Amino acid sequence: MPYKLLFVCLGNICRSPAAENIMNYLIEQNGLSESSFQTPGDRIICDSAGTSSYHIGSPPDRRMSAAALEKLGIKLRGRARQFQKSDFQDFDLILAMDRENYDDILSMDPTGQYHHKVRLMCDFCSRHTLKEVPDPYYGGSEGFNQVIELLLDACDGLLQYVSNQEDRRQSR
């Protein structure tokens, strides 16, 4: 059974698609992609969404794409979509980029049934001390580079966490 991760920011064109693509990059680098398993489905699936509908259907922001290409040599893929209630059931872990996104996601689950699935992305950082991934949209290129560095750290920690979760699942 694949472990499903959903990365969420406001518009789904900067931070969350960067996180999704960086995580896929790390999964590939660590030999955890679908092609490295005998049975399809024994893998980690990543997706991203936005809490707003501003950019539905748009590709990742060109400045974020440039930063990811320059820093990691990866091309950001995907199209923006809005977070929906069904995502609570469809994903094992929902990762909010900042406290506002976190609160917006939780507000869509008034009973609290899925609150345990929602975490802040920076909870998984080991080298950086920021508690939220800052939105670089209105800033310069340095902000986009900082977000790539921060997400690389968080995704690294997240991959270790998910691998531990997978080990627990399989030992049951």
- CATH number for the domain spanning 17: value is 3.40.50.2300
Determine the structural domain holding residue 59 and report its residue range.
Answer: 3-171
**Catalytic annotation, pick one of 14, 15, 47, 156:** 15
Contact 16, 9 (CB under 8 A): yes
Contacts of 157 (CB under 8 A, 6+ apart): 124, 125, 126
Question: Cα dist. 31→17, 51, 84, 89, 163 in Å?
Answer: 21, 31, 31, 27, 12
- The active-site residue, picked from 47, 135, 153, 156, is 135
- Number of domains into which the chain is organized: 1
Among this protein's residues, is 123 annotated catalytic?
A: no
Is there a catalytic annotation at residue 104?
A: no
Cα–Cα distance for residue pair 51/41, rounded to 1 Å: 28
Encode the chain (172 residues) as per-residue pLDDT tens digits.
899 999 999 999 999 999 999 999 999 998 876 554 444 445 899 999 999 999 999 999 999 999 999 999 999 999 999 999 999 999 999 999 999 999 999 999 999 999 999 999 999 999 999 999 999 999 999 999 999 999 999 999 999 999 888 777 767 6
Find out whether 120 and 99 touch, Cβ atoms under 8 Å: yes
Q: What is the pTM of this model?
A: 0.94
Which one-letter DSSP state was computed for residue 82? Answer: B
CB atoms within 10 A of CB 52: 15
**Per-residue pLDDT at 19:** 98
- 14 in catalytic set: no
